[in-house]
Amino acid sequence: MWFCKLNGALKGASKTGTKTILARRPITSLVPGEPNEPKILTDVPGPVSKALFEKLNSINQSGSVQLFANYDKSIGNYLIDVDNNVFLDAFTQISSVPIGYNHPDLLTVFQDDHKLRALINRPATGVFPGHDWPEKLRSILLNVSPGLPQVMTMMCGSCSNENAYKALFFSYRNRQRGENVDFTELESSSCMINRPPGAPQLSLLSFHGAFHGRTMATLATTHSKPIHKLDVPSFNWPIAHFPRYKYPLEDNTRENHAEDDKCLEEVEDLIVQYGKNENPVAGIVVEPIQSEGGDNEASPRFFQGIQQIAKRHGVGLLIDEVQTGVGATGKMWCHEHFNLESPPDIVTFSKKMLTGGFFHSLDMRPKQPYRIFNTWLGDPGKLYLLEAVLNVIKQQNLLDQVLRTGSKLKLGIATIEKEHPDLLNSTRGRGTFLAVNAADTELRDKIVAKLKLKGVIVGSCGDHSIRLRPSLTFQEHHADILLDKLQQTINEVK
C-alpha cells in the first residue's frame, strides 16, 4: 500500500510475505453514519441506472449522465447509486457539495417554519424581499466576504459572472463620464438597436484555458473545450496566455518566473493594443486556478502583477471563485493565498456557496436600479443552508482539516507519480483542490473509469488531467482509501 511505502512501517502494521496488514483502528467521521469504505455490487453504470438513462435520453440529450444516484441513501463523502453501489466521492457534483451528502445540520434547517416558508414562497428579492433579507446578507454573506463591502446574489456560477461582467462595463463607463451620470438621448436610442454610443465597443480580457460559464458573455471568456463554444456567435475580445509551469515547482523557479513575466507582458500589450483599436478593455477576468481548463495554477507573483496592470490601466479585476471558493484550498477564498495589496474589484461565487452571486467594491455598484436584476436574485432558502454550512466549517475547523487531508493526498499522489513518471506527472494544487496529469488523454480516461469501478469517483479536466474536488469533511482515512485505489489502478494500467 502507498502509505507503507511512504512512511516505512506504520505503527500498528505488520508484514506477512509481501502483503501489508494494517491494524484496524476506529474511524471517527465528521459526518456520522458514513460507510467505512466503497462497495461495488454491479457493473458501473448498473442495470437500474441503464434503464433510467434510456427513459431520460428519450426526453433530452443525456449523453453526459454517468449514473443515477440515490440521494436519500447517500451520506457524507459517500455517493450511493440506484443500484446500491457505494462510491467514495472525491468529485462532489463538480466541486459543489461543501460538507458532504445529507449532513445532519443541513437536514434540520427547514424544520424552522419561517425558513420553510421562505423556501416555498421563493420571493423576488429584488422587489419584495422578506424582512430579514438585509440582515441575512450582512450576517451570512458579508461575514465571509474577502474584504469587499457589497454583495449581489444570483442563482448559479454562469449568471453570477454574466452579471458581474455588466458591473465591470458600467463602472468603466461611469469613470469615462465623470460627474455626468445621466444618459444622453442618443445613448438611450442607440442601445436599443445595439449600436454605439449606448452599446459601446468594450471588451474583457480573459485567458486561454479559462472557463467562466456557458451564457453569451461568459462563453466569450471561456476557452477550455470547443464543445462549449461551437456554433455560438461571440465577441472579439482579447485572450492572453495563462502561465504553464514546470513541475516540481521548487526545482523550476527561474523558468516559472520567466513564464509569469511573459504572460504578464502579453496582458499589458493586449490592453494597449485593444485600446488603440477602439475596443478598450474594461476588465480582466481570471480564475485563481483554471479548473475546467486543466487545473492550471499560477503564482502569487503572477496575480500581484495582474492586479498592478489592472490598476495602472484603470480596468476592473474580477476573480472567479465559483469553483475555488469556500475552503477547498485551505482558505475561504483561493486568492487569499496571493497576498494582493487590496481586494479584487469583484469576486464571483457559487457551487460550495450553494447560492450564486458576487462581492464587489463600491465602484462596481450600479447607480440606477434594475441594471443588475432578475426575478429572484438568489434564493433565501439557499442562504439558510449556507448559514448552516458556515457554522459547521467554523465549529469543526474544516479549513484546518482541508490542509491536513490535502497535505496527505498531495504527498501520496506525488509519491505514486515518482514511482510511475511515465504515467503521471505534475502533481499540483492547494488544500484538497488537487490535480495530476496522466501521460495522455486515453490513459487519463482509463484511470478515471477504473477508479470508478473500484468505488472512487474523481473528475477530469483539460486534455489529460485528473482532478480531486472532495468535500471539506474529507478526512485522512478517506485519503488512505483514495490513494490505495489509485495505486492499484496505476499498477493495472502500466
What is the β-pairing status of strands 316-320 and 19-22? unpaired
Q: How far is CA 295 from the centre of its chain?
A: 10
Q: 262 exposed, middle or buried (CB, 10 Å; 0-12, 13-18, 19+)?
A: exposed
User: Do the Cβ atoms of 399 and 392 come closer than 8 Å?
Assistant: no
Task: Report d(CA 494, CA 488) in Å as an integer.
Answer: 10
12 contacts: CB under 8 Å, gap ≥ 6: 22, 23, 25
Burial string for 40-58 (b: 16+ CB within 10 Å, else e) reads beeebbbebbeebbeeeee
Residue 284 parent element (H or E) = strand 281-286
Task: Report d(CA 52, CA 59) in Å as an integer.
Answer: 11
Task: Report d(CA 314, CA 304) in Å as an integer.
Answer: 15
The amino acid that residue 260 corresponds to is: D
Question: 426 vs 57, 244, 286, 451, CA distance in Å?
Answer: 38, 11, 22, 19
Helix, strand, coil percentages (3-state) for the chain, rounded to 5, are 40, 15, 40
Q: 382 exposed, middle or buried (CB, 10 Å; 0-12, 13-18, 19+)?
A: middle
**CA torsion sign, 484 to 451 to 459 to 393?**
negative
Give me the active site residues, please: 211, 320, 351, 375
Residue bearing cell 501521460: 439
Name the H helices within 277-333.
300-313
Residue 397 gets the label, from left (phi > 0), alpha (psi -120 to 50) or beta, of: left
Q: Is 241 helix (H, G, I), strand (E, B) or coil?
A: coil
User: Do the Cβ atoms of 210 and 223 come closer than 8 Å?
Assistant: yes
From the list 102, 98, 76, the residue with the least C-alpha distance to 89 is: 76
User: Do the Cβ atoms of 352 and 328 come closer than 8 Å?
Assistant: yes
**CA torsion sign, 450 to 453 to 456 to 461?**
positive
User: Do the Cβ atoms of 337 and 304 come closer than 8 Å?
Assistant: no
